[in-house]
Amino acid sequence: MAVAAFPDPDLDPSRWVPLRYLNFFRLVIAGLFLVAGSELQLGHEAPKVLVAVAFAYIAAVLTLGFPDAARRIGLDRLIMLQVVIDIAVLATIMWASGGYRSGIPVLMMVILAGAGLVAQGRAVLFFASLATIVVLAENSWRFFSGRSSADFLQVGFVCIGFFGIAIVARLLALRAKANESLATLRGVALAKQQAVNERIIRDMQDGVLVLGADGRVRQANPSAALLLGVDSLEGRLLAELDESFSDFRVSCGTADGALRRMRASGKLLRCRAVGAGEGGEGGGTDGDTLVYLTDFEEILQRMQQMKLAALGRLTASMAHEIRNPLSAVMQAAELLTEEKRADVQVRLVRIINDNARRIERMVRDVLALGRREEALPEALALAPFVATVIDEATLGGGAERDVFRVDIPARATLGIDRAHLHQILDNLVANARRYCSGQPGAVRVFAADAGGRTVLHVLDDGPGIDAADRLRVFEPFFTTHPKGTGLGLYIARELAEANGATLELADNAPGAHFVLTGRTQP
């Protein structure tokens, strides 16, 4: 029929579906012409012509309404043929019904609107032009033949409407098709993204549960069942699996979650609950809740392995660093037993003492690193504190004190542990003094405010740090000083991070430039 329910899959659905409804409209109009033409006051000037045209119109609609017709002659040609037939039929009925005043041009507007939805390119303008020509021609024939004709200005407005309706319908069709294409592309992208997300959740090692408001498991990945020690989870109450989950919304709703020892699997799990709708903590009681399960025992094992690996590297580095001064001590001790001259003995004893103190400093730094106490930050007035550290480092006073130029605002504060800041500054000041030129103002210490954070700069006018060494200055046991342990900057940065601060190496200016950044208040 003209409204076939199953169109050919090769036909463009964005055009074929509207065409089906347009064919149905044509069939209804043809039936009305045939059955109720006289009641609608149509064909009163040529009744037989009305009947003949109505029968022909029904036959054309039925013949051209099947999908097979579109396959045989092509969809574009089919649309062109149907609209031309529509205009020809309506023009003939308009002629047989008294011309423009019969109301047939209104039906032409409907046909042109439908054609704008299904036709392509400039065909809609052709249809509007054809309808305009036939309407004007019919009205002109009536005018010159002395019959009752309509005002040409009124007819002209209607013809202009033909073009407007056809163009607007075509633009709407293009917009609808563009939106449909965009929706299709987004649908494909969304489907791919959903497939990727499902694959990630299915293969991830952490367990993921989706709980309803009643605490019943709606969805779960395989890792969740494995961690909980059950075969299936969907549809089961989480509290029934383990009584430790009876208060999971409260205990697991914090940022860090909570630790739970599972009865079935015996695993120590870290659980964290968040709202599935907004991602907020706690989940709430009105919507779905996401529960993340992490094998905490595996995390502890990895941490232990990392600690052992770090301890191994630290032990190897210490052994390497201690071996050199220890060899010097042993060699000096052997020479001391053989040497009889007092001045040589004094020099050998000094070598032994110097290397022993070097070993002692190294061991002390390592012990301090291992026994690092918890930070107790306070708002320290930076100017007097830095002055105290520099005074302790320049006991010689006078020219030694002039090496340092301090420029710190009186109101500057730094939220940090007092002992930790003393150790950090003592290391930075000592390094700057060691490598500077020794001229007045060779070492600069100044501070600035950076949006609620205090930035303390320590820089010298020495040779600076080589580009090859910049990435290693904070590594443990890395040093360019023959008597250094290589732990000073490493410990200084660790202490800074323990207080929520950062210690960084800036560009040479021209010497080494270290920047300590921390909160103004603890």
> Looking at the domain assignment, is residue 314 inside a domain?
yes
Select from 167, 182, 197 the last residue of a domain: 182
Q: Are residues 324 and 468 in the same domain?
A: no
The span from the CA of 339 to the CA of 333, in Å, is: 10
The span from the CA of 81 to the CA of 77, in Å, is: 6
Residues of the chain with pLDDT under 50: 1-7, 9, 279, 281-285
pLDDT at 475: 79
pLDDT at 328: 74
DSSP class of 150: -
3-class state of residue 431 by DSSP: helix
Q: Are residues 135 and 218 in the same domain?
A: no
pLDDT at 6: 40
Containing domain of residue 259, as a range?
207-299
Spatial contact of 87 and 134, defined as CB atoms under 8 Å apart: yes
What b/e string do you get for 482-502 counting C-beta neighbours within 10 Å, with b at 16 or more? eebbbbbbbbbbbbbebbebe
Where does residue 363 fall: left (phi above 0), alpha (psi -120 to 50 degrees), or beta otherwise?
alpha
pLDDT at 457: 93
Q: Are residues 351 and 466 in the same domain?
A: no
> Looking at the domain assignment, is residue 431 inside a domain?
yes
CATH number of the domain that residue 261 is part of: 3.30.450.20
The span from the CA of 22 to the CA of 2, in Å, is: 9
DSSP class of 98: T
Residue with tokens 């046991």: 477
pLDDT at 147: 77
Select from 147, 166, 182 the last residue of a domain: 182
The H-assigned helical ranges of 145-263 are 152-203, 222-228, 238-241, 248-251
CATH number of the domain that residue 414 is part of: 3.30.565.10
- The strand pairing partners of 295, in sequence order, are 269
Amino acid at 510: P
> Looking at the domain assignment, is residue 202 inside a domain?
no
Q: Return all residues near 277 (Cβ < 8 A) that are at least 6 apart.
A: 287, 288
Half-sphere exposure (CA, 13 Å, Cβ side) for 216? Answer: 5
List the 207-211 sheet strands across, edge first. 217-220, 207-211, 289-295, 268-275, 258-261
> Looking at the domain assignment, is residue 198 inside a domain?
no
pLDDT at 285: 46
The span from the CA of 359 to the CA of 373, in Å, is: 23
